[in-house]
Amino acid sequence: MLPLFIAGFSKEVCLSQAHKLLKHVKLLHKADKYPPELSGGEQQRAAVARALAHNPVLILADEPTGNLDDYSSGVIWDLLKGANEQLGTTIVTVTHRIPSLLRVSYRHFIIDNGGMDEIC
């Protein structure tokens, strides 16, 4: 809620958006917890939800699923995919592993020795 509250949204809008996003990342049952009370995967899912709170046009994600279990990774990829499809948000992700079940169009680049090549 805090980023929305700072941006000047009413408490009702903040609560509604937080509720919707926490439900989407399957953390509604942890809404009253502080970050140290969440697992690493839960913290990362909450961070992605927070990034989507303002319905941004662009998200830059560096290893958004690094060090996460398969369940948390799946939730985050689904959330990012949904943001792209439903909100039109452009997602730029740097990752070592794209899940095979993601089923989205993407461009694949390799960065090596200061150069960049696209893999077709």
Q: pLDDT of 61-101, one tens digit each? A: 998 888 888 888 888 888 888 888 888 999 888 887 777 66
Least confident of 15-19, 32-36, 52-56, 101-105: 101-105
Phi and psi torsions of 15, nearest 5°: -65, -45
Under a CB-based contact definition with an 8 Å cutoff, are residues 73 and 40 in contact? no
Domain boundaries, the chain: 2-119
Kindly report the pTM of this predicted structure.
Answer: 0.75
| Predicted pLDDT of residue 69 | 83
Q: Does domain 2-119 have CATH number 3.40.50.300?
A: yes
| Predicted pLDDT of residue 100 | 66
Write the burial class of residue 93 (CB in 10 Å: 0-12 exposed, 13-18 middle, 19+ buried).
Answer: middle
